[in-house]
Each structure stands twice: as C-alpha cells, then as structure tokens.
A and B are shown apart, each in its own frame.
Chain A
Amino acid sequence: SQTIHQWPATLVQPVGSPLSLECTVEGTSNPNLYWYRQAAGRGLQLLFYSVGIGQISSEVPQNLSASRPQDRQFILSSKKLLLSDSGFYLCAWAGLAETQYFGPGTRLLVL
C-alpha cells in the first residue's frame, strides 16, 4: 500500500530564516505530487504541483519554491521566511485513480 511522509511535523522559525520541508511517497511510481497551504479556518491553497522529476508548476507567486529531485520526493523551500508564510503545509500525491492522498502535514509558525 502507498504511504506518504512529511517532516518535520512542527516547525517554529524566525522571520528571514530559510525553510526546507520534505515529502516522500512510498509504494507507487511516478505519482503527481502537490504542495498545499492551509491557513487557520480556511481552505486549501495549491502552491505547487509536479508531474515528474524536475517538473514543477507554480500556482501562486510568492517567496516559496519547490523541487523534485527524485520520483517520490518533493521539497518545499524558502530562502527567507515571512510572517505570512505561517500555516499548515500539506503534501499530497495522486495516481491513476484521479484522487489525491494527503500526508500528515507540517505546522509552520514564523515569528
């Protein structure tokens, strides 16, 4: 069966510091991968998606970036965090079944 991992689970970072969140998927090949942000009490905002290694599409222009160095690894990064980057970051994968499966999420607090 497929599983999706995210780490860290919780992160507290100062404004202006860098960020690296990692997502890995097991049990599937060539998945579509997604990064979402969920602000408190709000819906999911799609940040990036990837259909293959090195292929990244950005949905929202901001100071975040994403990379996919391996088939089942997706990384969300920032060079300098802003207060507005605080939120709950979710990684998801989709296969041929046309549905998305989410990871446990990373809660980021920028102070």
Chain B
Amino acid sequence: QKEVEQDPGPLSVPEGAIVSLNCTYSNSAFQYFMWYRQYSRKGPELLMYTYSSGNKEDGRFTAQVDKSSKYISLFIRDSQPSDSATYLCAMSFNYGQNFVFGPGTRLSVLP
C-alpha cells in the first residue's frame, strides 16, 4: 500500500461545478496537510495548509481533514477554467523532512 494515494484523474468538469479532490493516507502520525496546485511546466504552488483535523476555507477553496478516516479533501466551488491544473496533496509529521506527496490529480474545467 502506498503511503499517500490520490485519484490520478484526469477529471473534467464544466465551468461552475463543485470539484472534490481526495487523498487517503496510511500513516496516522501525519499532522500537517497541504494542497498544491501545479500548472503545466510550472512548480507547485501552495493552496491550502491545515494542521490536524477540521476544515479550512479560503475563498472558493475548502480543505477538509478527517484524521480518524485518514482522508483529506479539497473542494473547489464555482470552478473556473483557470483552475485547470494538477492538484497535489502533501502531508508531514513535523518540522523538516518527511514531506510525502500524492501523485496528483489532473483537473480540467471546461468553459
């Protein structure tokens, strides 16, 4: 079993749709959870960062962490064509190394 799993997609949705991106993980010691967006041929950029369980909202984006189920989600409301990118989940135990990334989900938002 891989340490972090993520639906690879590609996922295609119409503009305005609500998008749900998900990751599951196996190690219950992860404490910090992140979502990155990566446009083609660019470096990943940090979208959301949460600590432990709960929800965090930033504009059209909501990150949700369920540590009891070892499951994290990113919701995108009113999706836009500019949201078309690969979304990577990531998690870590503590300060320093031990960042683990999911393989990414490719999202296309069609106008």
Contact = CB atoms under 8 A, between A and B. Distances in A.
Interface in B13-52: 32, 34, 36, 41-46, 49, 51
Interface residues of B, number: 23
Interface residues of A, number: 24
Nearest to B45: A102
A90 B34 contact: no
B6 to A, nearest CB: 8
Interface of A: 6, 32, 34, 42-44, 46, 49, 51, 57, 88, 90, 94, 96-105, 107
Interface of B: 32, 34, 36, 41-46, 49, 51, 88, 90, 92, 94-97, 99, 101-104
- Shortest beta-carbon contacts, A-B, top 7: A43-B103, A102-B43, A44-B101, A105-B43, A102-B44, A98-B32, A99-B49
